[in-house]
Amino acid sequence: MKTFNFMSVATCGLVMMAMSCSSCKEDPIEPNNKTYTITDVEIGGESYKKLEGIINDDLSLNLSENWLLSGGVFVDENAKLSITQGGTVYADTEVTTFLSIKQGGEIFIQGESTNPIVFTPLKDNPTYGDWGGIIINGRAILNTGLTAEGEGGTGIYGGDDDHDDSGVLRYVRVEYAGKILGTDNELNGFSFNGVGDGTTVEYIQAYKGSDDGIEFFGGTVNVKYAVSTHNQDDSFDWTHGWRGKGQYWIAQQGPDGGDRGIEADNNGDDNTLEPYSNPTLSNITLIGVNDGDSLNTGMRLREGTKGQIFFAHVTGFPKYGVRVSDEVTLNNVTNGELFVANSLIEGNGTDFKDCESFDGLTNTLNDSWFSYDETVGAGDFWTEGWVRQWEI
């Protein structure tokens, strides 16, 4: 592990106070009325720009330099954080670090298929939960009330605008996230909190996090091309009225921890709260493994969720392939408002639990957002060059 002896060379953007600094005058991200700081530090013989605090106007990171996020880094309302070249952004593991986009803030993180933008801990031998991941807080509708507060004090989210736009994530990988803050208080790789469908999310990977890989708390954001690899809780998780769309998703569980490929809830306190969680997914691959407890399940559809899932391949889960539970959720199946169709569920401990009607079910997907593809599963043609591969 690297020793974190920070040697401050120059501090720019001082917090809510004016201070002169000869090196700051040459820095294009001045003047010095920012509520964030950028400090030149040296760690293990390498130079880094350490970014802390609340970004309250437009800031672009040039990844030809080493950047280190430290603590809770927020993008404020009406501010924009841009990274438009591939490379690595490091997270400080000496403090609880995460990147949170506040309501009304925007993020434009756009890598390339051969050169993604990677967020990873600054640490020798990084591991699960070294930092907190990326959180986006939008103004889309929840079923828990008008607004809610994100886990770990990461921001307020929710509102009345399902078309809210929080920016763009494209070719982005988050590694070793999922910082555990306390009981039932864990961060994820990517947390989409009340995010609207004006936001673009494509080609993202959550790699080896200690909690969920990719989680949706209400909202309507759509996600195309997503990989969740060796995350120690659920690979994908939704709750509180998520009504987005997803296509080309891969979950690969790992041997040292994992729960469900998909954990799908409406609302745990009241399964009938509206708007119901009701996503549409297509071309999904969920690959399970026995991590020692024989309990892993491919899809757990519960607590009142609705949803339409097409062309899924679910295999290798030691307990269940697809399970439906709770009275309201079972009623949704009976009413045709929850189903898994045109799919292959095989090679699991028990393929179907309380949803045998899904076996062999076919249905029609008619939505222009989706690329036309009747292949069962997600394939992998789209992962080359930017996805960090996994070991079984």
Determine the residue type at 211. Answer: D
pLDDT given at position 5: 35
Q: Which residues contact 28 (CB under 8 A, 6 or more apart)?
A: none
Residue carrying the six token digits 């993180």:
109
pLDDT over 80 at 30, yes or no: no
Count, residues in the chain? 392
pLDDT given at position 391: 59
| pLDDT above 90: percentage of residues in the chain | 85
- Give the global pTM: 0.91
Average pLDDT, the chain: 91
Rounded to 5 degrees, φ, ψ at 172 are -130, 130
Peptide bond into 318 cis (omega under 30): no
The DSSP line for 332-382 is: HHHTTSEEEES-EE-SSSEEEES-GGGTT-------TTSPP---SS--STT
pLDDT given at position 31: 39
Residue-wise pLDDT for 263-306, tens only, equals: 999 999 999 999 999 999 999 999 999 988 889 999 999 999 99
Q: DSSP H helical segments within the chain, as ranges?
A: 22-25, 327-334
d(CA 382, CA 87) in angstroms, rounded, equals 19
Instruction: Read off the tokens for 343.
Output: 């799919």
d(CA 235, CA 134) in angstroms, rounded, equals 15
Peptide bond into 255 cis (omega under 30): no
Contact 131, 121 (CB under 8 A): yes
| pLDDT above 70: percentage of residues in the chain | 90
pLDDT over 90 at 34, yes or no: no
Residue-wise pLDDT for 219-256, tens only, equals: 999 999 999 999 999 999 999 999 999 999 999 999 88
User: 134 by DSSP, 3-state: which?
Assistant: strand
Give the mean pLDDT of 190-197.
98
Residue-wise pLDDT for 302-334, tens only, equals: 999 999 999 999 999 999 999 999 999 999 999
d(CA 317, CA 346) in angstroms, rounded, equals 9
Give the mean pLDDT of 198-213.
97
CA Rg, the chain, in Å? 21
d(CA 8, CA 43) in angstroms, rounded, equals 10
pLDDT given at position 14: 33
Q: How confident is the model at residue 390 (pLDDT cuts 50, 70, 90)?
A: confident
pLDDT given at position 83: 97
d(CA 49, CA 40) in angstroms, rounded, equals 5
Residue-wise pLDDT for 124-139, tens only, equals: 999 999 999 999 999 9
Instruction: Read off the tokens for 125.
Output: 């031998």
Question: Torsion angle of alpha carbons 196, 197, 201, 207, nearest 10°?
Answer: 50
pLDDT given at position 151: 86
pLDDT given at position 247: 98
Residue-wise pLDDT for 171-183, tens only, equals: 999 999 998 776 6
pLDDT given at position 16: 33
pLDDT over 80 at 15, yes or no: no
Determine the residue type at 206. Answer: A
